[in-house]
Amino acid sequence: MIHLKRRDASSDEKRGERREGREERVKMSNESEQKLEQYRKANMPLPATNRLWPLYGAGWENLGKDGGPIDLPMPKPGPDELLVRHDAVGICFSDIKVIRAGENHPRIHRNMKEQPVVLGHEVALTVVDVGENLREQYKPGDRFIVQADIYIGGKPYAYGYELQGGFSKYSIVDWRVLNGDHGNYLVPVKPEDGYAEVALCEPWACVEASYTVVYRTSWQEGGTVWLIGDGRGVKLGKAVEWRPAKVVLDVSDLAFAEAVRAWAHTNGVAVQEGDDGTTQYDDIVVLGHDAALCERIFGRLAKGGIFNLVLDQPLAQPVAVDIGRMHYDHLLVVGTETSDLSAAYAPVRTQLRAGGRCWILGAAGPMGQMHLLRALSMPERPAKIVATNLHRARMEPVRKQFARLAAEMGVEIVFLSRDEFPDDEAFLERMRTETNGEGYDDIVIMAPSTEAVQQASMLTAAGAVINVFAGLARGTMVRLDLNPVAQHGVRYTGTSGSSIEDLRRMRDLVESRQLPTNHSVAAIAGLEGVADGLRAVAEGRFAGKVVVYPNLSKPLPLTPLSELHKVLPSVAAKLDADGMWTKEAEEELLRLML
């Protein structure tokens, strides 16, 4: 007789529960995917309110209301306006400067108690509603990043300063953004681009701008030139082809002075005998070797000016120069040891020297890491990079993040910290040893200190470029040996901010996968994490960037990527092999949190 085994009812129930659980998970997954697709296409109903973080004045106590964001009625776009959704926004140290300065900040021009500022200028946004007059140009779902430096009639209306910024879920974009002095300040991005990776094009554009800056290779067309000094044996060279409006003659050599007058008369260039004591010059050409004279007149350069040293013998002492103005006012120091004053105006190399030696000074901060990542990612890269920072504790994460990438790219990389050495002399000797005493071809300075600039100036190779990326205040004087400028073609460069062309170029580098801006992300948060994120940036808590996702429907406090596995394990699982943020991790975050 065959005995049939009785089916266990409890087993059937468990199998049924598992099947129902699988079906529920599939359903939830499908719903999450559908919601993400609707979000991308801006095909979701808008909420009745808009949440944002107002800043009512200087100080952390004036950020938000009762320590949090506020809710206002959802704005509606006028006929010539767009309603946009902020998808991702990076926190910049410039935001901290506004919190500290309030109405004393140079970009703020209003009563903040009555008209609070909403910060956040590193933004990726999506159009969600279009005014009737713009419907042939825009549609819901169109995606953009923003060139934050917006000008109307020469007056600044920066996004995240005068215009409501990204620390809000939604905002109105009006004619000031769409039709400013430089045209449309919205830069389109592809639908498939990640939100964080394109939002970070804004700070990255500032980095890229420092490598694509162009300096004049002649006297300013229609400008004013001051020729001052001895002049004995000096020739104009190619300068005979240049056409300034006026030359101020202040030279002792009669033959050179007469040659200049004759050239000017022939070519319709005005000549003024002697300086008036007030003119700001586009070009100052010092003939001779008077260091005290150089120091005395350097401040007479106009914005965008060039200071040319035509040395008949070396300067006897260092010269105090305004390093802040070199950064913010686009000043350049050139020079030559030849008798041809035009020889100093050779093109300035601003890209890193391929196969050269590069020192990135202040590499552990967010901007330093961007420069380091760029140096490793571009097709023409240095053969050796020395990355330094003050403290070893901050350099360790950088070492972990970049050592493998450097090896993959065939770049020798050395990580050093100042606190590993007993004094500056020992540190500089090690830095010198890393180049076999030959010096660095490129030095990129993130540290806002005069000592950093002075140290860099001691370790240059012939033809070196020192990129003073750190913004030191105008009026910050640094004593520099300028002899290498004339003798060996050393150049100091400096840039501030970026243009819309820089932003477009950066977008192209991201979309072509040449520069992985997501590697800059160190922590993420929802809109409620803005205050904590700002404080973290103010305290220098993270080596990389904090990115806020304003439109998550579930709360996400400030979360370092290193802690992500504890709170969002499925998102953490989609980080790359080095624990870096990815588009896939972002998509998983949005599936879970929208």
Q: Give per-residue pLDDT as tens, 246-256.
A: 999 999 999 99
CA distances for 566 relative to 28, 393, 397, 573, 586, angstroms: 22, 23, 19, 11, 16
Kindly state whether residues 60 and 181 are assigned to the same domain.
yes
CATH of the domain at 311: 3.40.50.720
Q: Please give the tally of structural domains in the chain.
A: 3
Which of 345, 379, 408 delimits the end of a domain? Answer: 345
- Averaged over 188-208, what is the pLDDT? 97
**How many whole angstroms separate alpha carbon 76 and alpha carbon 71?**
15
List, in order, residues 6 or more apart from 1 with CB less than 8 Å away.
Answer: none
Asked whether residue 163 is assigned to any structural domain, the reply reads yes
Give pLDDT tens digits for 289-300: 999 999 999 999
pLDDT of residue 75: 98
pLDDT of residue 406: 97
**How many whole angstroms separate alpha carbon 348 and alpha carbon 308?**
13
Beta strand spans in 451-499 (E): 460-468, 477-480, 491-493
Asked whether residue 182 is assigned to any structural domain, the reply reads yes
Q: Which residues pair with 306 in a beta bridge?
A: 283, 332
Structure tokens at 192: 């498939």
**How many whole angstroms separate alpha carbon 394 and alpha carbon 365?**
8
Kindly state whether residues 437 and 565 are assigned to the same domain.
no
Kindly state whether residues 378 and 236 are assigned to the same domain.
no
Confidence of residue 471 (pLDDT cuts 50, 70, 90): confident
Q: Compute the 3-state secondary structure of the chain and give helix, strand, coil in percent, each to the nearest 5.
A: 35, 25, 40
**How many whole angstroms separate alpha carbon 414 and alpha carbon 194?**
32
**How many whole angstroms separate alpha carbon 252 and alpha carbon 288?**
11
Radius of gyration of the chain from its Cα atoms, rounded to whole angstroms: 29
Instruction: Tell whether the model's pLDDT for residue 5 goes beyond 80.
Output: no
pLDDT of residue 58: 97
Confidence of residue 12 (pLDDT cuts 50, 70, 90): low
pLDDT of residue 106: 86
Instruction: Tell whether the model's pLDDT for residue 214 goes beyond 70.
Output: yes
Asked whether residue 441 is assigned to any structural domain, the reply reads yes
Query: Structure pTM?
Result: 0.88
- Averaged over 300-316, what is the pLDDT? 97
Give pLDDT tens digits for 350-368: 999 999 999 999 999 889 9
- The rounded mean pLDDT for the chain is 95
Kindly state whether residues 341 and 361 are assigned to the same domain.
no
Confidence of residue 6 (pLDDT cuts 50, 70, 90): low
Q: Cβ distance 350 to 210 under 8 Å?
A: yes
Asked whether residue 309 is assigned to any structural domain, the reply reads yes
Kindly state whether residues 168 and 258 are assigned to the same domain.
no
Percent residues over pLDDT 70 in the chain: 95
- Averaged over 38-64, what is the pLDDT? 97
pLDDT of residue 11: 66
Output phi, psi for 130, to 5 deg: -130, 130
Kindly state whether residues 577 and 535 are assigned to the same domain.
yes
Instruction: Tell whether the model's pLDDT for residue 139 goes beyond 50.
Output: yes
**Runs of H (alpha helix) within 415-540:** 424-433, 450-457, 483-488, 500-511, 530-539
List, in order, residues 6 or more apart from 278 with CB less than 8 Å away.
Answer: none
Beta strand spans in 340-450 (E): 357-361, 384-389, 412-417, 440-445
Kindly state whether residues 248 and 328 are assigned to the same domain.
yes
Q: Which residues pair with 183 in a beta bridge?
A: 180
From 307, 354, 359, select the one nearest 333 (Cα to Cα). 307
CATH of the domain at 169: 3.90.180.10
Kindly state whether residues 106 and 204 are assigned to the same domain.
yes
Confidence of residue 16 (pLDDT cuts 50, 70, 90): low
pLDDT of residue 8: 62
Confidence of residue 10 (pLDDT cuts 50, 70, 90): low
Q: Cβ distance 542 to 523 under 8 Å?
A: yes
pLDDT of residue 323: 94
- Averaged over 546-574, what is the pLDDT? 98
pLDDT of residue 472: 84
Instruction: Tell whether the model's pLDDT for residue 15 goes beyond 70.
Output: no
Structure tokens at 159: 């996004």
Asked whether residue 496 is assigned to any structural domain, the reply reads no
Which of 345, 376, 401 delimits the end of a domain? Answer: 345
Kindly state whether residues 429 and 393 are assigned to the same domain.
yes
Kindly state whether residues 415 and 524 are assigned to the same domain.
no
Instruction: Tell whether the model's pLDDT for residue 396 goes beyond 60.
Output: yes
pLDDT of residue 470: 87
Structure tokens at 203: 């700070």
Q: Cβ distance 430 to 455 under 8 Å?
A: no
Kindly state whether residues 230 and 194 are assigned to the same domain.
no
Output phi, psi for 294, to 5 deg: -55, -45
**How many whole angstroms separate alpha carbon 577 and alpha carbon 129?**
39
B/e letters for 130-141, b = 16+ CB within 10 Å, e = fewer, are bbeebeeebebe
What count of residues does the chain have? Answer: 594
Give pLDDT tens digits for 483-504: 999 999 999 998 888 999 999 9
Kindly state whether residues 129 and 254 are assigned to the same domain.
no
pLDDT of residue 379: 92
Instruction: Tell whether the model's pLDDT for residue 446 goes beyond 60.
Output: yes
Percent residues over pLDDT 90 in the chain: 90
Confidence of residue 31 (pLDDT cuts 50, 70, 90): confident
Give pLDDT tens digits for 233-243: 999 999 999 99
Asked whether residue 11 is assigned to any structural domain, the reply reads no
Instruction: Determine the structural domain holding residue 382 and report its residue range.
Output: 357-467
**How many whole angstroms separate alpha carbon 86 and alpha carbon 319?**
48
Confidence of residue 448 (pLDDT cuts 50, 70, 90): confident
Structure tokens at 507: 């977008």
Asked whether residue 128 is assigned to any structural domain, the reply reads yes
Confidence of residue 4 (pLDDT cuts 50, 70, 90): very low
Confidence of residue 28 (pLDDT cuts 50, 70, 90): low
- Averaged over 512-517, what is the pLDDT? 94
